[in-house]
Amino acid sequence: MNAISPNRRPMNVRLATPRGFCAGVDRAIQIVERAIEKFGAPVYVRHEIVHNKHVVERLKVMGAVFVKELDECPDDRPVVFSAHGVPKSVPAAAGARQMLYLDATCPLVSKVHVEAERHHAAGRHILLIGHAGHPEVVGTMGQLPDGAITLVETVEDAQTVQRPGNAPLAYATQTTLSMDDTAEILSVLKARFPELPDPHKEDICYATTNRQEAVKGLADGSDLVLVVGSPNSSNSVRLVEVALRAGAADARLVDDASHVDWSWFDGVSTVGITAGASAPEPLIQALIEAIRERFDVTMIDDPGERETVTFKLPRVLA
């Protein structure tokens, strides 16, 4: 870390709107918090409730126990399924054990699950655009029998994927992808398979779309863009990629202010700040304060989409 200079030079700090928590993340965290309040600790959570280490650590202190698989949970304590969704086999196993389980799957992810089931029921084979191993992709593929979905990760995959037999095709997407990358993959798929239908609504969620549009505006005129978010957060990583593609001279992902290398600010007069959908606002404010300690800051709030979406909690917690 560089020493703090007593002669602080000017620094414009542009703050993206919207940034940070989305409605699905907020709902998932509330489910864990309220479950602890109602049922007492410990409450078990299968996988990280959202992909942010600060959120996970705070919930651990409150009494949440994070596990990788359901068999690590006792029968007599509540278990919460993460916002990314789970394969159908997971609630089925919990039900067979008569466990109390709470599903914190984002409703927009659940919408993709419903669409996948609808396509399967109509006899269509599904091409799923997403990243292998991501919990959301694992959950979506786990809604249907093996072989019902083919994963398409890249343009190269789109150029070579084969239709299984004579099956009609449909597609779905992971909700946290880059809009531009997804559009490129879809363009290739639809050129090869013209019968692919347009989606009723884009699977990429409103929060991902809004944050990517905001960071494109932020990148224009910013010498450096800092994205607050954890490395395993897909939507946060995509924001860095989108910023660079949109023309930012430099863009970095930081878990929090302690991860900033202040040499990144050499030659920088304007820094843009945003955050992934699972990053809490206090982390953003702490980053701004760390910049204030080192520079003479002028704050600029970028205009952007104002989000008013909210999702209901499960009835047992409402």
Active site residues: 136
Tokens of 80: 């919460």
Alpha carbons 85 and 206: distance in angstroms, whole number: 17
Rounded-to-integer distance, Cα 150 and Cα 164, Å: 9
Pair of tokens at residue 220: 């224009």
CB 13 within 8 A of CB 35: no
169-173 sheet: strands from edge to edge: 149-152, 125-129, 169-173
Burial class (CB in 10 A: 0-12, 13-18, 19+), 120: middle
Dist CA 137 CA 174 (whole Å): 6
Q: What are the strands of the beta sheet with 270-275, ordered from one edge?
A: 251-254, 224-228, 270-275, 10-15, 296-301
